[in-house]
Amino acid sequence: MAEQLGSLARTHTCGALRSSDVGASVVLLGWVHRIRDLGALVFLDVRDRHGLTQVVIEQNDPLLDKAKRLRSEFVVAVFGTVERRSAETVNTAVPTGEVEVRVSDLRVLNEARTPPFSIAEDQNVSEETRLRYRYLDLRRPTLQHNIGLRHRITMALRRYFDDQGFYDIETPILTKSTPEGARDFLVPSRVHPGEFYALPQSPQIFKQILMIAGFDRYVQIARCFRDEALRADRQLEFTQVDLEMAFATPSLVFEIVEGALAACFGEIGVEISRPFRRMPYAEAMAKYGSDKPDLRFGLEIQDFGPLFTDSPFGIFREAVAHGGTVRGLVIPGAGSYSRRELDGLVEQARQLGAAGLIYARHTADGVQCSVKAVGDESTRAVLAQSGTTPNDLLVLASGAPDAVSKLLGQLRLQVAKQANLIPEGKWELLWVTDFPLFDWNADENRWDSVNHPFTAPREEDLARLESDPGSVLAKAYDVILNGWELGGGSIRIHDRETQATVFRLLGLSDEDARHRFGFFLESLEYGTPPHGGLALGLDRICALLAGETSIREVIPFPKTTQAVDLMCDAPSTVDPRQLRELSIRVTP
């Protein structure tokens, strides 16, 4: 039977008591972490989020029987006196280990069922069970730490942006659907049958309008919603640190964002060097086969096209002759791979979509290439140019430059992981810049925005906007940490004319544009300052700084890869009356 808390207040948290508190009368409130019942003597560890304190109940104490009936995770109030532990019984593993509390009263504020997994023991539990009992998982040290870190990072960001003169401004959660980009989450309107709000994929248009409205510097820790497949680094709803500045240049955005990230790193005691490295998109794609290269390790992709213009090996020769190329990377330490390991590597490349993977290496009596037709001379040349030592293995693939690099880029990541080539505790930050503005969409016979339709072209490329859109680069930039995209942004189009041209290239008629963004286009005509900004993925920042590989570990209540909340069982069916009220009928 639970006893009452009444007006009882704790005097100390369970992590607070030190030898300087010896003699004090204290009240501790917390959970029973562990009980050590020695028969005539019971030790009780009482826990809260601040720590653990040992409580002693000795023989002859009328509370002994009560203490023996305690179980894990009961909620208790402990009254007692702080005593110094004898030298032999000090526990150096916990900060409160020099003292213990001799009990004078003990109240059970609540009992607890035996939890499905232990809070006190640091054991692996399947994610399914953890998510089902998230309130228990959250009690465990890892999530207690991660959620605490997330709080500190959030607060550091708020302090930083306040110091930099940013206003924190909220934007609507119920807003207008814009068919570009990710799938929208729709919210039916009861008042307007058949009409829907959309949840924001990002506050993009609102923050631009805030610049037009004269708010200079805006920041928001904004929840965003995208109805797309989930991944370790993607949830249906996620949090952006969304910012925008009037009169912004790319270098101003870089400076502000680098400062913000430095503030985040400060919370884990790491000083990062600034300015960050910068790399054009084209170089990232060519050397790493990715627009978010992981620079913690080498294994850069190299181009060997010119070596194979006259190759006796038809596949390479033809590739180079038809606008393709031959690229490869050196895998350190793989020179001694067995036939089985080599076959495994080739199979791995096939799984990634490669037509084939060719390898070459030095041998005791010369050189070896998996395709004889390449010839010893070419093999020697390519091994020499690539810097392959007798220890290493060179792998090669041919095809369209971007496709080859993308393939090798994925192989690069897999190989690095398998061969343990990724150093721990390294932080490689960089800016990827100069993205193309458009992508050709062959299916729809039009251009697509690489970023979003409000991204400004580089000034030097403006003249080619209509004549050669594919060659136009954007004032867009992503910030990358250890191969994760932490954020992205751009300088925006601020004149009506350029915006209209871009919409036209995207295949949007004036009427379409007016229907979707009419209010926004109109706002551009009322004195829009040049502006730009960026959004950082807060979940990703927290995950990386917490040393986690999934953002679920820094989100209190995440969803599974099937988009289900296992704790509250959402989504779920609703009462038919609710649907009727919304004029919605569900078809089977």
Partner RNA sequence: GGGGUGGUAGUUCAGCUGGUUAGAACGCCGGCCUGUCACGCCGGAGGCCGCGGGUUCGAGUCCCGUCCACCCCGCCA
Compute how many residues bind RNA; rule: CB under 7 A. 70
Q: Is 12 helix (H, G, I), strand (E, B) or coil?
A: coil
Task: Restricting to residues 42-101, name those near RNA by CB under 7 A.
Answer: 43, 45, 54, 56, 58-60, 71-72, 85-86, 88-91, 93-94, 97, 100
For residue 200, cis peptide bond before it (omega within 30 degrees of 0): no
Residue number, 471 or 561, with CB nearest to RNA? 561
CA 359 to chain centre: 35
Cα–Cα dist 421/290, whole Å: 18
- Mark residues 320-359: x for contact with RNA by CB under 7 A, - for none: -------------------------------x--------
**Contact of 157 with 241, CB cutoff 8 Å:** yes
Q: Which of 111, 283, 300, 448 is the binder for RNA (CB under 7 A)? A: 448
**Which of residues 42 and 383 has its CB atom nearest to RNA in the complex?**
42
Dihedral (C-alpha) 101, 106, 109, 112: value to the nearest 10 degrees?
Answer: 80
CA angle, residues 65, 16, 106, in degrees to nearest 5: 20
Please report how close the Cβ of residue 200 comes to RNA at its closest, in angstroms: 8
229 forms part of the interface with RNA (CB under 7 A) = yes
- Shortest distance, position 102 Cβ to RNA, whole Å: 8
Distance of alpha carbon 488 from alpha carbon 481, whole angstroms: 12
Nearer to RNA, 260 or 407 (CB): 407
With respect to RNA, which residue has the nearer C-beta, 96 or 302? Answer: 96
- Which residues in the 17-36 window bind RNA by CB under 7 A? 34, 36
Say which DSSP state 527 is in: T
Site for RNA in 260-319 (CB under 7 A): none
Whichever of 61 and 258 has its CB closer to RNA, that residue is 61
Mapped onto helix, strand or coil, the DSSP state of residue 486 is strand
State yes or no: residue 420 binds RNA (CB under 7 A): no
**DSSP string covering 217-283, please?**
EEEEEEEEE--S--BTTB-SEEEEEEEEEET--HHHHHHHHHHHHHHHHHTTT-PPPSSPEEEEHHH
First to last CA, the chain: 49
Q: How near is the Cβ of 262 to RNA at its closest, in Å?
A: 26
Query: In this chain, which of 22, 24, 125, 419 binds RNA, going by CB under 7 A?
Result: 125
- The count of other CB atoms within 10 Å of the CB of residue 181 is 14
Query: What is the secondary structure of 421-459 as a DSSP string?
Result: -S-TT---EEEEE--BSEEEETTTTEEEESS-TTBPBPG
Q: Does 466 bind RNA (CB under 7 A)?
A: no
Q: In angstroms, what is the minimal distance from the CB of 276 to RNA?
A: 22
Nearer to RNA, 86 or 467 (CB): 86
Q: Supply the minimum distance, in Å, between the C-beta of residue 335 and RNA.
A: 27
116 is a contact residue toward RNA (CB under 7 A) = yes
With binding defined as CB under 7 A, does residue 228 bind RNA? yes
- For the bound state, the minimum distance from the C-beta of residue 42 to RNA, rounded and expressed in Å, comes to 8
Told to check if 453 binds RNA by CB under 7 A, we report yes
Nearer to RNA, 296 or 317 (CB): 296
Structure tokens at 25: 């009368």
Residues 507-526 contacting RNA, CB under 7 A? none
Per-residue binding string, RNA, 553-572, x by CB under 7 A, is: -------xxx-x-x------
Q: How far is CA 537 from CA 384, 444, 457, in A?
A: 42, 31, 24
DSSP run (H or E) holding 108: strand 99-110
State the DSSP code for 494: -
Please report how close the Cβ of residue 131 comes to RNA at its closest, in angstroms. 7
Rounded to whole angstroms, the Cα distance separating 53 from 552 reads 30
Q: Given the complex with RNA, which of 36 and 372 has the nearer CB atom? A: 36
Helix (H, G, I), strand (E, B) or coil at 420: coil
Check binding of 137 to RNA (CB under 7 A): no
Binds RNA (CB under 7 A): choice among 27, 37, 63, 557: 37
The site string for RNA over 198-227 (x = CB under 7 A, - otherwise) reads ---xx-x---------------------x-
* d(C-alpha 189, C-alpha 336), whole Å: 66
The smaller minimum CB distance to RNA, of residues 133 and 215, is found at: 133
**Burial profile 447-469: b = 16 or more Cβ within 10 angstroms, e = fewer:** bebbbbbbbbbbeebeeebeeeb
φ, ψ of residue 301 in degrees (nearest 5): -80, 135
Listed ranges 196-204, 257-265, 306-314, 395-403: which one lies at the site for RNA (CB under 7 A): 196-204
Task: Give the footprint of RNA on this chain (CB under 7 A).
Answer: 34, 36-41, 43, 45, 54, 56, 58-60, 71-72, 85-86, 88-91, 93-94, 97, 100, 114, 116-118, 121, 123-129, 131, 178, 180-183, 201-202, 204, 226, 228-234, 351, 410, 448-453, 550, 552, 560-562, 564, 566
